[in-house]
Amino acid sequence: MNIAGRIGQMSGAQKGIAGALVAVLVIGGAGATYALVSNGSSKSSAAAPTATATPSPTASPTPTATPAPAAPPPVNPLTGTGTVPTGPVIAVKIDDTAPGRPQVGIDKADIVYIEQAEGGLTRDVAVFASQKPIAGYIRSTRASDPELLTQYGPIVLVASGGGGDSLKILDASILHPYIQDRGDKGFYRVQRRQSTYINVVLPLSKVSVPGAGKAKSIGLVWSASGAGLAATPVATSLSTKVGGTPVGFTWNASLKKYMRVINGNIQRAADGAVIATPNVIVQFCAVSPHPGDIDVNGNPSQYTHSVGSGKVSIFRNGHRIDGTWSRPTINSGTTYRDAAGKPISVTPGGAWVVLATNGTPLTSR
């Protein structure tokens, strides 16, 4: 007899018990739990599973790029200040003797060199890029000028003429000659009591030479910072010689410049401006007689060798920094380093470079 028939012969109480057993046996094997109710039927007491929401990933914020600081605008590499000049660089040979003073426009030059001529006398090479004033009094070139100026590139060299082989050497260089004796335009003479022949001037704004070079670095490191100067000697005045000519400068704290002094007198340009500079560079060089250019008195011109290396003393901010200079090739700029081998920086605003012979005394205090 099957299970259903047996249950049919049972009493009511027996049927209830049997039903519960059957339910447990049949359904319990499936792993579910049931409860009996009064009418003998059964319902699940297990709660329906609750769905758990999967959290959405949180987007990471996109990092904001920090803009790089703007590069400072380029400045004139020959002064370390002001905008880069757009016109040609013009070097001018200017008289540096008593009959040639007061000089014209030299206070507006970016860089000025004092070099030997002959017979112990000096001449200046004034380099103009920022301003193009009337310049004078213009004199003749010397054989060593192309070597000195080639570091600037193919710039213009203005001169009244040139003795001996000076013009031949100039023509063979990368420089652009602009020579009065050859008929180049713009030169004129002025009446002056100091001299009847040292009187040639030229408005530099009128000079136009196709292909003339523009301002570029010649190795100077410009910095307004005076860091480290406190450890260097104070030098509010300096004195040396170029050839047989005394050269001196005195520091003016108000101007923050060294003023040129000759025989105790502060020098002024023809316009009354004090001739002064933030930096004086005394560069000691080999100097030798140049037999290819001898003056009417039998004095050979002196050739200053500006390619090579040697000692240097740089005066800035009322202090003196001793070191060495180096210029390995004629096309190279000139670099200056201190005793530790670090570059010597100069104050923005231009410089005067005194090209003294090796071994010349230099005093400062």
Summarize pLDDT for 344-354 with one digit per residue, the tens: 999 999 999 99
Q: In this structure, how many other beta carbons lie within 10 angstroms of the beta carbon of residue 45?
A: 9
Question: Is the domain of 28 the same as that of 141?
Answer: no
β 351-357/111-116 pair status: parallel
pLDDT of the residue at 53: 58
Question: Is the domain of 228 the same as that of 342?
Answer: yes
Question: Is the domain of 340 the same as that of 249?
Answer: yes
Query: Residue 79: inside a domain, yes or no?
Result: no
Query: Residue 41: inside a domain, yes or no?
Result: no
Of 148, 176, 206, the one marking the end of a domain is 206
pLDDT of the residue at 46: 44
Of 178, 206, 234, the one marking the end of a domain is 206
Query: Residue 300: inside a domain, yes or no?
Result: yes
Burial class (CB in 10 A: 0-12, 13-18, 19+), 251: buried
CATH classification at residue 234: 3.50.90.10
Is 16 a residue whose pLDDT tops 60?
no
pLDDT in tens, 97-133: 999 999 999 999 999 999 999 999 999 999 999 999 9
Query: Residue 66: inside a domain, yes or no?
Result: no
Question: Is the domain of 229 the same as that of 353?
Answer: yes
Question: Is the domain of 95 the same as that of 186?
Answer: yes
User: What is residue 17's three-state secondary structure?
Assistant: helix
What confidence category does residue 194 fall into, taking pLDDT thresholds of 50, 70 and 90?
very high
pLDDT in tens, 130-183: 999 999 999 999 999 999 999 999 999 999 999 999 999 999 999 999 999 999
Cα–Cα distance for residue pair 204/291, rounded to 1 Å: 32
Cα–Cα distance for residue pair 350/104, rounded to 1 Å: 18
351: nearest Cα among 104, 127, 73: 127
In one-letter notation, the amino acid at residue 231 is A
What confidence category does residue 68 fall into, taking pLDDT thresholds of 50, 70 and 90?
confident
| Chain position carrying tokens 């009322």 | 318
184: nearest Cα among 213, 198, 204: 204
Q: What is the domain range of residue 314?
A: 221-364
Query: Residue 315: inside a domain, yes or no?
Result: yes
Positive/negative CA dihedral, 115, 118, 122, 126? negative
β 176-179/156-159 pair status: parallel
Higher per-residue confidence, 60 vs 286: 286
Query: What is the number of domains present in the chain?
Result: 3
Query: Residue 232: inside a domain, yes or no?
Result: yes
Question: Is the domain of 190 the same as that of 244?
Answer: no
Query: Residue 159: inside a domain, yes or no?
Result: yes
Per the prediction, the chain carries an average pLDDT of 88
Instruction: Please tell me the pTM assigned to this model.
Output: 0.82
pLDDT of the residue at 8: 46
What confidence category does residue 20 fall into, taking pLDDT thresholds of 50, 70 and 90?
very low
Question: Is the domain of 235 the same as that of 147?
Answer: no
Of 206, 238, 259, the one marking the end of a domain is 206
What confidence category does residue 57 fall into, taking pLDDT thresholds of 50, 70 and 90?
low
Is 355 a residue whose pLDDT tops 90?
yes
Average pLDDT of the residues in 205-218: 96
pLDDT of the residue at 43: 42
Identify any residues that bridge with 345 across adjacent strands, giving them in sequence order: 221
Question: Is the domain of 283 the same as that of 314?
Answer: yes
Question: Is the domain of 250 the same as that of 157?
Answer: no
Question: Is the domain of 167 the same as that of 201?
Answer: yes
pLDDT of the residue at 14: 47
Question: Is the domain of 268 the same as that of 321?
Answer: yes
Cα–Cα distance for residue pair 159/320, rounded to 1 Å: 34
Is 13 a residue whose pLDDT tops 60?
no
Query: Residue 278: inside a domain, yes or no?
Result: yes
Question: Is the domain of 234 the same as that of 174?
Answer: no
pLDDT of the residue at 359: 98
Burial class (CB in 10 A: 0-12, 13-18, 19+), 13: exposed
> How much of the chain exceeds pLDDT 90, in percent?
80
pLDDT of the residue at 63: 72
Is 291 a residue whose pLDDT tops 60?
yes
Q: Indicate the helix (H) or strand (E) that contains 18.
A: helix 12-28
What confidence category does residue 54 fall into, taking pLDDT thresholds of 50, 70 and 90?
low
Is 61 a residue whose pLDDT tops 80?
no
Higher per-residue confidence, 54 vs 238: 238
Is 52 a residue whose pLDDT tops 70?
no
Residues 185 and 206 sit within 8 Å (Cβ to Cβ): yes
